Amino acid sequence: MSPSGMTPTERTALREAVDLARRGTGTTSPNPVVGCVVLDASGAVVGRGWHERAGGPHAEVAALADAGDAARGATAVVTLEPCRHTGRTGPCVDALREAGITRVVVAVPDPTAQAGGGADVLRAAGVDVEVLAADDPDRGAAERANRAWLTWARRGRPVVTWKVGQTLDGRTAAADGTSRWITSAESRHEVHALRAAVDAVLVGGGTPAADDPHLAIRDATGGIDRIAAQPLRVVVDTRAEIPLTARVLDDAAPTLVVAARGSRTARLTDAGIDVLEVPVAADGLDLDALVTGLGERGVRHVLLEGGATLAGSMVARGLVDEVVAYVAPTLLGAGPASLVETGVGTLGDAVQLAVTDVSRCGPDVRITADVVAPETADQPSTTQE
């Protein structure tokens, strides 16, 4: 047994369950991603499952179906605490108990009042339940796989990932404004896969004016038919001046325009366009209200794509959680910077990042990093992959 009470076999099963959970990324929202592995008394894997789509079987139910009669007397290793409520499907605690599961290993407790507490229900029914400690590295890996849903459940707001394509010297366009294409075809293809994994794509009002982007998914790794739905396209347009002919307002995907409260939004609503009005703060739109408003609309994960000023403001407000940068092997020496107006005036105030991945994407380099919270920026960090 490990110090937590888990066997090495159970730890191996949990890592497989985390990999299974990731398969649901982009198709389970607004539900969490969850993976489950069933082990018989000898430690052999007899069932595997993951939550594939919202409204479909939960991971535990899928794994139990895969295990069949071998589930009796077995151990279920699951990335998120089994639910105890009835939604579009029945409680997973009942499915585990009725299948004859005698032990359940839980990576992450469910933080919601509605579904949480499944571990206690199982214990009351005589099932042995092991819940990983908060500092357990394997719990950390399970939390990261389910980061968007857990952030929404705990904080009432979505995770925000800032995606940027830039030259090696940090430019997003040349001095004359030309910007197609800074990054490679491979990187642009990957962006559609990123969109397929989120609930909303966010851009500033200047992006439609400058580039007239479409922002819908045209292609994605795994196939366009894999996605549950096109992500919500969100345009931050303070004065509600976006042209009604903008491509982002077509019917290929839903669109939300975020404007200042009291601005002239009637022209948009009269045209059938969804609008979210937010207060104006001293330095512009209240971005906290924007992000909270998206969370109230069921958005768990936002991909911030366009606008150096909007990105800078989001960073300044501490609203960016992750950065995915595609860096092209190109030098311009002049032109728009990828990030402006962060409020950083000295090196000591710089926003710190913890790099989680560096890899090639065609000729480009993709760097993925977490934004380090200020209170932990001076502490060493570890990454569990």
Residues 244 and 262 in one domain: yes
How many other CB atoms are there within 10 angstroms of residue 103's CB atom?
18
Q: Which of 150, 179, 199 is a domain's end point? A: 150
Task: Provide the pLDDT for residue 106.
Answer: 97
- Mean pLDDT within 244-265: 90
Beta strands at 274-278 and 255-260: parallel, antiparallel or unpaired: parallel
Please report whether residue 35 resides in a domain: yes
Are the CB atoms for 160 and 321 separated by under 8 Å? yes
Q: What is the domain extent for residue 170?
A: 156-376
CB 108 within 8 A of CB 141: no
Percent of the residues in the chain that have a pLDDT greater than 70, as a whole number: 92
pLDDT score recorded for residue 271: 92
Same domain, 178 and 120: no
Q: Are 97 and 238 contained in the same domain?
A: no
The CATH number that applies at residue 357 is: 3.40.430.10
pLDDT at residue 188 is higher than 60: yes
pLDDT at 276: 94
376 has a pLDDT exceeding 70? no
**Is residue 30 in some structural domain?**
yes
Specify whether 111 is located in the same domain as 162. Answer: no
Mean pLDDT over 341-354 rounds to 91
Looking at the structure, do residues 144 and 181 belong to the same domain, yes or no? no
- 8 Å CB contact between 328 and 165: yes
Residue 9, token pair as written in the block? 């076999």
Catalytic residue among 10, 52, 60, 190: 60
Task: Determine the pLDDT at residue 209.
Answer: 65
Same domain, 336 and 255: yes
The reply to whether 351 falls in a domain is yes
Mean pLDDT, residues 157-185 taken together: 91
What stretch of H or E contains 105? strand 103-108
**Residue count of the chain:** 385
Rounded to an integer, the average pLDDT of 363-383 is 71
- Does residue 384 sit within a domain? no
Q: What CATH number does residue 127 fall under?
A: 3.40.140.10
- Mention every residue, 6+ apart, whose C-beta is less than 8 A from residue 181: 188
pLDDT at 379 over 50: no
Give the H or E element holding residue 130: strand 128-131
The H-assigned helical ranges of 125-205 are: 137-145, 147-155, 185-196
Question: Which range is least confidently modeled, 143-152, 203-212, 279-288?
Answer: 203-212
Domain assignment present for residue 262? The answer is yes
Chain centroid offset of residue 329 CA: 28
| pLDDT attached to residue 208 | 67
Mark whether 237 and 358 lie in a shared domain.
yes
Q: At what angle do helices 59-67 and 8-22 cross, to 10 degrees?
A: 120
Whether pLDDT at 303 is above 90: yes
Buried b (16+ CB within 10 A) or exposed e, 29-62: bebbbbbbbbbbeeeebbbbbbbbebeebbbbbb
Which pLDDT does position 275 carry in this prediction?
94
| pLDDT tens, position by position, 4-37 | 688 999 999 999 999 999 999 988 988 999 999 9
CA distances from 252 to 85, 197, 204, 247, 258 (A): 35, 17, 19, 9, 19
Which burial class, exposed, middle or buried, applies to 362 when counting CB atoms under 10 A from its CB (0-12, 13-18, 19+)?
middle
Specify the pLDDT at position 218.
73
**In the predicted model, what is the mean pLDDT of the chain?**
89
Shortest CA distance to 351 belongs to which of 327, 308, 326, 322?
Answer: 322
At 225, is the pLDDT very low, low, confident or very high (cuts 50, 70, 90)? very low
The reported pLDDT for the residue numbered 94 is 94
pLDDT at 192 over 70: yes
385 within some domain? no
Residue 239 to residue 24: CA distance in whole angstroms: 38
Instruction: Please report whether residue 38 resides in a domain.
Output: yes
Whether 381 maps to a domain, the answer reads no
Domain count, the chain: 2
60 is known as an active-site residue:
yes
Q: Quick one: 303 and 321 in the same domain?
A: yes
Domain final position from 150, 177, 209: 150
Q: Tell whether the model's pLDDT for residue 223 goes beyond 50.
A: no
Same domain, 127 and 245: no
User: What's the confidence (pLDDT) of residue 119?
Assistant: 95
pLDDT number for residue 129: 97
Of 99, 69, 88, 86, residue with least CA distance to 78:
99
**Are 56 and 132 within one domain?**
yes
pLDDT (tens digit, 9 = 90+) per residue, 31-75? Answer: 999 999 999 999 999 999 999 998 899 999 999 999 999 999 999
Looking at the fold, whether 293 and 330 belong to one and the same domain comes out as yes
- Asked whether residue 229 falls in the same domain as residue 346, the answer is yes
- Residues in a beta bridge with 234: 202, 256
